[in-house]
Each structure stands twice: as C-alpha cells, then as structure tokens.
Amino acid sequence: MKKLNVLLLLVFLSTVVSAQTNYTPSKENVANREWFQDAKFGLFIHWGVYSVMAGGGDHGIAEWIMNQKKIPIQQYKKLPSFFNPVQFDPAEWVSMVKKAGMKYITITSKHHDGFAMYASKISDYNIVDQTPYGKDVLKQLKEECDKQGIKLFIYYSQLDWHHPDYYPRGRTGQDFTGRPKQGEWSEYIDYMNTQLTELLTNYGEIGGIWFDGMWDKPNADWQLDETYGLIHKLQPGAMVGSNHHKEPIPGEDFQMFERDLPGENTMGFNQTNTISELPIEMCETMNGSWGFNIKDQNYKSSKQLIQTMVKAAGYGANFLLNTGPMPNGKIQPENIDTLMVIGDWMEKYGKSIYGTRKGPIKPLKWGATTQKGNTIYLHVLQLAEENLLIPNVETKIKAITFFDDDSKVNYKITDFGTLLHIPYDKRNDTDTILKVEI
C-alpha cells in the first residue's frame, strides 16, 4: 500500500475507531480466542539483522546487542548490508513447525532496533530496501503458512531505538543512539499505527498482534484506544496482546507471561499475580536468548520444555517456544532436534494437551491437570514414591486409567484427597499421564 493511501486510511479510521474501554470482541475474535486456546503450542521467532552479530560473543545478548553494546544508529545501520539469508526456505520452516506439533507462529516484524523485517513503505529502514537479500520474509512466510494451515501472529515492538520521534526516550536506547534530543511523540504513534496498518492490510488474515516494549516508557501516553481500535477495525478477528507484564488492558484479547508460568515471577518481568479470564500464553526460550546467539549453549532439555508446556496447559495457557534463526536463514540445528522430540511427544500425547482447558486441580509440585469434556488428564511430572495424594475433584469419578495402555489405576477416595497408586514400572520419565473419567 502506498504511503498516501495508508495515511488516508488512518485518517478515516481515526474517525470511526471507538474507545476500547467498552470493548466487546467481535464474533470472529471470540472464535479466534477459542481456536487459540485449543491450539496450545506455537513457535516464537526472533529474527532480525542483529542475527548477523550472533550475540557478539556474550551470553544472553542477541536482539538487544544495539543497546547493550551501545552501538550508535550510524554504525548499526551497516548491519542490514550484511544480512543475506539466501538459505531461508519458508516451506522448510513451516514443515518443521508442523512436525513439532505447533499450530501457529509468532514472528518479529520489528524489534526494538526499529528495523522492519517486511516491506514497509513508511520507512526505508526495512529488509527490502536495505539488505542485499531484498525480499519480504514476512510475506514469504505468510504465504507458506496459508499453504500449510498454520496461523501467523505478528510481534511488533512499540519501543524503537531508531525512530527520532520516539521521544522523550525511555529506559533504553538513550543518548548512545545519536538521535537529536527532540521529537514529536504523536508522530511516532502515527508511524507505529501506519506500520500496523501495513501489517494488517498487506498480509491477509493475521492471527493477532503481539506487542512488546511498553515497559520502556510505562507512563507515556501510548494512545492504545486508537491503536487497539485500529487493529480491531482492520481485522476484527485478530487478537491483541501486549507484553507489558501487567494485567490486560481493555482492548486486549489475551494475556502473556514471559519465561514464567502464569502468575509466577522468577525472571523479574511479571508484575501481576492476576491470571486473566482471557486466553493466556507463556513464552519461553530454548537456551537463554531470543535472537541467535552463537555462544549460548545453555539449552533446556526437551523433557524440561515438555514439562513446562504441560504445566502451562495446567494453567490453561498456551506455550510459545522460541527460536532465533541464523543470518543465513536456517534454524539452529540444536533447536530443530529439540522441536522434533517435542513433536514426537505431541503426536503420542497431544490428546491430553490440544483442545483442553485448565483442569480442576491447579498445577502443584507433582504436576498438573488438563481437561476436555468428561476427561481430566492428570500429568504426573515428578513423584518420588508409588503413591500420590491429590485433592478430591468435585465430580464423581467413574474410572482412572493409564494413558499409555488403558490399564486401570488403583485409587481410593479419602477425606483428605484421592490416593493414587502409580507403580514404578508404569512411570514415564517425562510425564505419566492418567485419564480420569468423570
């Protein structure tokens, strides 16, 4: 879409979008929320020109390298000229996603560095205009997702270390960037809304927008009514979520938790104990980095990731597992290996995850419960003995069987809870699943 057309559309929409305080999701949005909660498992992709620097030799730095190493824009803007992912094969990526048992992808369209990984017309600071590769990766990925039946969600960073009008500056991206000490905040909001309009009008149906970065300027006037209203107007089905680490704001359709189970805060991001009634999602890294970091070998095992996914499902949350593709366009082989193991597990045990909602017993040290219809799936993740006492469920239990072989589980209902006998030889090292029919 041409810049003028986008601006005209924005002017028109600003007159019709309404405040989000009384936001009622559209029929399509409600349906998408259901789909989302059924889907349970997605791939997060952090890909940008920063991948060229591969983390710069430091642990945990990747997409943050510009800020952490204080690289001025004048220097950072050389990076796009080295970004040439000629081996990027969207069909390969999406097939991998399907084999992993994932149902959707959330990809960075613009991260904090401000560089658009799609053909933006409002700024030439984008992959098509600035890299030797010269192609729109988002478009290619979306076309392949449509072919293979995978939904695409778009990550968009509200925080911007490149745009001059992101002013006053926030906690990050300050003087080292070399931007003048002035700017028009409202110009930046318009710029952001224009980019969002591009993303929501040039790529067909989008699953949702995944915002990040408001935490950089928590007290700024983000004019969310306008932005959220715009999104809901352009694509009523698209879900809006924001990683502001707080309770959802009116106009948002899902709540997210970063590298922590819902309501927990081991990472220092989450600022609320409230778990919303909205759909929820937890995102997690495979090592300690979001973008590609060549040095970070601190990989989580597939067992650990499956167990986290199961616990997330026990809270009713989706699991969005991240990979940081390499600058050549390939996914890190270690990540593919892990995803294939998870995919095999999902093929066998997915019934206890997909389409479920949180179970009647909240996740505890020993594991978690999920539920679909009259079946409660009891996921025993950790158990030192043969007996497990769980809280009684309110409904009458008809039978309890092992998921693996349908054999009966011996149990006894007591005043203190339901006592289950889980012999050692019936254990599964990752997750011993019991089916409780009610």
Write out the residues near ligand FHN by the rule CB under 6 A. Answer: 63-64, 212, 243, 258, 269, 283, 290
Nearer to ligand FHN, 95 or 172 (CB): 172
- Please report how close the Cβ of residue 72 comes to ligand FHN at its closest, in angstroms: 20
- Please report how close the Cβ of residue 418 comes to ligand FHN at its closest, in angstroms: 38
The DSSP letter of residue 363 is -
CB 436 within 8 A of CB 391: no
- Please report how close the Cβ of residue 271 comes to ligand FHN at its closest, in angstroms: 11
- Please report how close the Cβ of residue 48 comes to ligand FHN at its closest, in angstroms: 10
- Please report how close the Cβ of residue 62 comes to ligand FHN at its closest, in angstroms: 8
- Please report how close the Cβ of residue 50 comes to ligand FHN at its closest, in angstroms: 10
Tokens of 313: 């499902």
Question: What whole-number distance in Å separates Cα of residue 109 and Cα of residue 45?
Answer: 10
Nearer to ligand FHN, 237 or 291 (CB): 291
Concatenating the DSSP letter of every residue in 29-52 gives HHHHHHHHHHH-EEEEE--SGGGG
Nearer to ligand FHN, 212 or 226 (CB): 212
Nearer to ligand FHN, 267 or 389 (CB): 267
Closest CA to 163 of 193, 133, 139: 193
Range list of H helices, 223-319: 224-234, 302-314
CB 199 within 8 A of CB 156: yes
- Please report how close the Cβ of residue 383 comes to ligand FHN at its closest, in angstroms: 32
Nearer to ligand FHN, 105 or 436 (CB): 105
| Alpha-carbon distances, residue 388 vs 52, 349, 358, 362, 376 (angstroms) | 50, 21, 20, 15, 16
Nearer to ligand FHN, 290 or 403 (CB): 290
Nearer to ligand FHN, 63 or 190 (CB): 63
Question: What whole-number distance in Å separates Cα of residue 375 and Cα of residue 73?
Answer: 56
Concatenating the DSSP letter of every residue in 301-315 gives PHHHHHHHHHHHHHT
